[in-house]
Amino acid sequence: MIRQALDQLKHQIPLLDYLQGHHWQSTGRLSRGRWMGLCPLHQDHKPSFVVDTSKNLFYCYGCGRGGDVIRFAELYHQVRFPQALGLLCQWRGMAPLLHETTRLYGMQLQRHAEAVVYLQQRGVRSPELIEHMRIGYAPGGCLRGWLTQLGYPLHALHQAGLVTAAGYDAYIHRIVFPLEGNLYGRSISATAPPHRLLPGTKGGLYCWEHVRQYPEVILVEGLFDYAVLWQAGFHNVTCSMGTQLNPYQFRQLCDGMRTVYLAFDADANGSGQHATQVLAHRLNQQRVTVGTVELPKGHDPNSFFVDGADAGQFQALLEAARP
């Protein structure tokens, strides 16, 4: 990429927007457009990360690293320069589209009783949780019109995977959860495939920037597991979206001193238990302390709570977790 294109990319992605898109929160404003917060690049306990919005640069007084948005993407995603450029280009294209999609689907949720009923069946009730996860509903047949009206060309919607080749909304009758650079959709109808993601990476661990500060972290495999635990007050929970962690998610779990509680599904066929064993072994090799949570047979954290368990009962499982 030539110099001019690099400058253009940096100009189009304000560092602060990119940081906030990755759940970074500032803890205070300094003079001359500078913001301070916890460093997303190292285990930071007091704010040492400064963002200068006028220069579009960052510097951390804790780990001594600094630079522009490209340097930040390299360090944050632990990739080389060309891959960082690729991630930034992808983010530049997807971020506004996903933002508008999330906004529309968020508005649709309360307009569709079947969606609210489904959420209740899965134990999702609190408005704070719905706001925290930005849960929405894709009824189908409204996204394409909404986005084209906002000026997005049809080919961009198709390329992003939001609209099918035939021109229809890709997400129909699905509860949707925005992820970093993707969108998870859970079908509420029994006849459609249950899970849907946009093409491309499922991204890092869910809400990792909120969770990584905790000395003890609970890892679950599904967003509905995440939802009921968060609702029950376990805000140190994260989700890998499946039992197979991608390399980036695995590195995130290993990036500091912490105990990881694995709370995957207790499948009748033992596949969840097997995935737990494999991951526990890999984490132990990286000197991460692991606790294996044993749910009653046939349960996942979501069904455990839906069946009437409360925070105290899950806490007891955490305390009884096997090393």
Q: Which of 14, 47, 62, 106 binds Zn ion (CB under 5 A)?
A: 62
Q: What Cα–Cα distance (Å) separates residue 250 from each residue in 126, 158, 208, 256, 260?
A: 30, 31, 12, 12, 12
Joined together, the tokens standing for residue 89 give 């280009």
Q: Residue 71 interacts with Zn ion (CB under 5 A)? A: no
Stretch of residues binding Zn ion (CB under 5 A), selected from 34-42, 185-193, 247-255, 306-314? 34-42
Q: What Cα–Cα distance (Å) separates residue 163 from each residue in 140, 147, 158?
A: 10, 10, 5
- The residues that bridge with 176 in the sheet, in sequence order, are 136, 185
Do 94 and 197 form a contact (C-beta atoms < 8 A)?
no
Is the CB of 44 or the CB of 265 nearer to Zn ion? 44
Stretch of residues binding Zn ion (CB under 5 A), selected from 57-65, 100-108, 225-233, 304-312? 57-65
Task: Return the sign of the alpha-carbon dihedral for residues 142, 143, 147, 150.
Answer: positive
Do 261 and 216 form a contact (C-beta atoms < 8 A)?
yes
Q: Which of 10, 23, 42, 299 binds Zn ion (CB under 5 A)?
A: 42
Do 62 and 80 form a contact (C-beta atoms < 8 A)?
no
Q: Residue 51 interacts with Zn ion (CB under 5 A)? A: no
b or e along 283-302 (b: 16 or more beta carbons within 10 Å of the residue's beta carbon)? beeeebebbbbebeeebbbb
Q: Residue 19 interacts with Zn ion (CB under 5 A)? A: no
Is the CB of 42 or the CB of 134 nearer to Zn ion? 42
Provide the minimum distance between the beta carbon of 64 and Zn ion in the complex, in angstroms, as a whole number.
Answer: 7
Provide the minimum distance between the beta carbon of 44 and Zn ion in the complex, in angstroms, as a whole number.
Answer: 6
Q: Residue 63 interacts with Zn ion (CB under 5 A)? A: yes
Provide the minimum distance between the beta carbon of 103 and Zn ion in the complex, in angstroms, as a whole number.
Answer: 32
Stretch of residues binding Zn ion (CB under 5 A), selected from 1-9, 62-70, 198-206, 229-237? 62-70
- The residues that bridge with 58 in the sheet, in sequence order, are 51, 67
- Cβ neighbors of 259 (< 8 A, separation 6 or more) are 215, 216, 217, 288, 289, 290, 291
Q: Residue 39 interacts with Zn ion (CB under 5 A)? A: yes
Q: Residue 143 interacts with Zn ion (CB under 5 A)? A: no
Stretch of residues binding Zn ion (CB under 5 A), selected from 56-64, 112-120, 201-209, 306-314? 56-64
Stretch of residues binding Zn ion (CB under 5 A), selected from 54-62, 75-83, 172-180, 260-268? 54-62
Q: Residue 41 interacts with Zn ion (CB under 5 A)? A: yes
Is the CB of 58 or the CB of 230 nearer to Zn ion? 58
- Residue 149: enclosing H or E segment and its boundaries? helix 143-149
Residues lying near Zn ion in the complex (CB under 5 A) are found at: 39, 41-42, 60, 62-63
